[in-house]
């Protein structure tokens, strides 16, 4: 029997929303957890892990960061990756070369961080202000030091050691040099593309191509090789043409497997959750267009400020907006084709809201 759209839909859910496990195991299985600072009602990384980690509470990732073998890094977006991924991402080509003055400031700032061991951006600003160097050194802009710290992190000079109340605290890091011969570069690019497929499969061909272009954030030095790997995806991945669209997934998986049967439960997913992140794939699998409207003017929103896609069984039937008001979790639901009938759906909604209250500590 050939692969159908129903198979692809079930496979997308079952392979990503796996049985809840430990925090470290979930991150390792996902490979990448996208980060976002907005709390509505929690940060994206917490919402993503909540659906995959047993007993997860909002903020557990930040609290456990130093004991986990993970890094804050750019991949196809900014987020958290297993530490061994950094060998694929670094040494990273900078977006633009620093001029002599910026290079001098970066080296001096690097020495400052090395001397302190770990620094909060506020410490940098205070230290340079104390020496009366703000006007001439940062152009009167204390935030310039924070931006330089961020650039040094991206360039691979610094790593995030931890966060204090959400603010990154940096320490120095030295990424080992990588062989730069064509075979090694191709191997690294293959590993990165495989990580993309593992995270977001099953993927329509156009989505795979788009995601590979986003590697310009994580590994711009391997873009040529990554594009070549994506073009040869049919030789590395499982694939099928379904309703005129070419789809790809890891070679050792079978979307037509009978064991892919999502449970009849409700899941409220983050807008950046791997199940729903790719809007092109979302519309192909569920037949309607989900929109993230946090940056849309309020009068123009159709779903809400931070609408969480509402997964019921194997169908995304609508969305929910959650908010905390004086310690109480409020919710508003919206549906594409009306609220599902029957008591089972209402019970499943309430069970998910109970889970959310525990997750938020309400």
> Among 188-192, 221-225, 237-241, 259-263, which stretch is predicted with the lowest mean pLDDT?
259-263
More confidently predicted of 2 and 230: 230
The answer to whether 352 and 267 have CB atoms below 8 angstroms apart is: yes
Q: Taking the alpha carbons of 198, 201, 203, 207 in that order, is the dihedral positive or negative? A: negative
More confidently predicted of 305 and 129: 305
d(CA 68, CA 297): 39
- Domains assigned to the chain: 5-63+178-249 (no CATH), 100-172 (1.10.10.10), 266-360 (no CATH)
pLDDT one-digit tens code per residue, 277-293: 999 999 999 999 999 99
More confidently predicted of 231 and 180: 231
Give burial (CB, 10 Å; 0-12/13-18/19+) of 333: middle
> Within 20-141, where are the H helices?
23-30, 44-50, 60-64, 86-89, 100-116, 121-130, 134-137
d(CA 332, CA 253): 37
pLDDT one-digit tens code per residue, 231-271: 999 999 999 999 999 999 999 999 998 666 777 899 999 99
**Count of other CB atoms within 10 angstroms of residue 92:** 19
When pLDDT is averaged across residues 115-124 and rounded to a whole number, the result is: 93
The answer to whether 76 and 31 have CB atoms below 8 angstroms apart is: no
Name the token pair of 249. Answer: 């997934």
User: Which residue from 114, 125, 174 is spatially nearest to 147, judged by alpha carbons?
Assistant: 125
pTM: 0.93
- What's the pLDDT at 134? 44
pLDDT one-digit tens code per residue, 305-331: 999 999 999 999 999 999 999 889 999
Average pLDDT, rounded, for the chain: 92
- What's the pLDDT at 20? 97
User: Which residue from 286, 205, 278, 274 is spatially nearest to 242, judged by alpha carbons?
Assistant: 205
When pLDDT is averaged across residues 329-334 and rounded to a whole number, the result is: 96
pLDDT greater than 50 at residue 130: no
């Amino acid at each position: 029997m050939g692969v159908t759209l129903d198979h692809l839909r079930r496979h997308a859910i079952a392979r990503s929303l796996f049985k809840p496990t430990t925090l470290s195991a979930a991150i390792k299985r996902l490979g990448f957890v996208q980060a976002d600072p907005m709390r509505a009602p929690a940060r994206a990384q917490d919402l993503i892990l909540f659906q995959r980690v047993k007993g997860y509470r909002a903020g557990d990732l930040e609290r456990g960061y130093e004991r986990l073998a993970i890094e804050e890094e750019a991949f196809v977006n900014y987020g958290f990756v297993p530490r061994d991924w950094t060998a694929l991402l670094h040494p990273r080509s900078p977006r633009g070369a620093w001029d002599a003055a910026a290079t001098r400031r970066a080296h001096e700032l690097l020495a400052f961080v090395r001397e302190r061991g770990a620094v909060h951006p506020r410490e940098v600003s205070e230290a340079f202000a104390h020496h009366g160097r703000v006007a001439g050194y940062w152009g009167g802009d204390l935030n310039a030091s924070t931006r330089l710290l961020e650039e040094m992190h991206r360039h691979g000079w610094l790593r995030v050691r931890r966060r204090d109340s959400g603010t990154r605290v940096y320490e120095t890091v030295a990424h080992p040099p990588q062989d730069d011969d064509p075979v090694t570069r191709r191997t690294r690019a293959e590993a990165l593309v495989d990580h993309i497929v593992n995270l977001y499969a099953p993927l329509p061909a156009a989505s795979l191509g788009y995601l590979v272009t986003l590697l310009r954030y994580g590994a711009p030095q391997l873009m040529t090789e990554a594009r070549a790997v994506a073009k040869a995806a049919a030789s590395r991945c499982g694939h099928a043409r379904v309703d005129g669209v070419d789809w790809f997934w890891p070679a050792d998986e079978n979307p037509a497997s009978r064991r892919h049967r999502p449970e009849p439960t409700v899941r409220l997913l983050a807008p950046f959750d791997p199940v729903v992140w790719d809007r092109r794939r979302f519309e192909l699998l569920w037949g309607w267009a989900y929109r993230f409207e946090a940056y849309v003017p309020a009068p123009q929103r159709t779903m809400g400020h931070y609408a969480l896609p509402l997964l019921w069984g194997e169908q995304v039937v609508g969305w929910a907006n959650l908010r905390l008001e004086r310690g109480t979790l409020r919710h508003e639901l919206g549906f594409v084709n009306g609220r599902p009938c029957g008591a089972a759906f209402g019970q499943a909604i309430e069970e998910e809201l109970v889970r959310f209250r525990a997750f938020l500590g309400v």
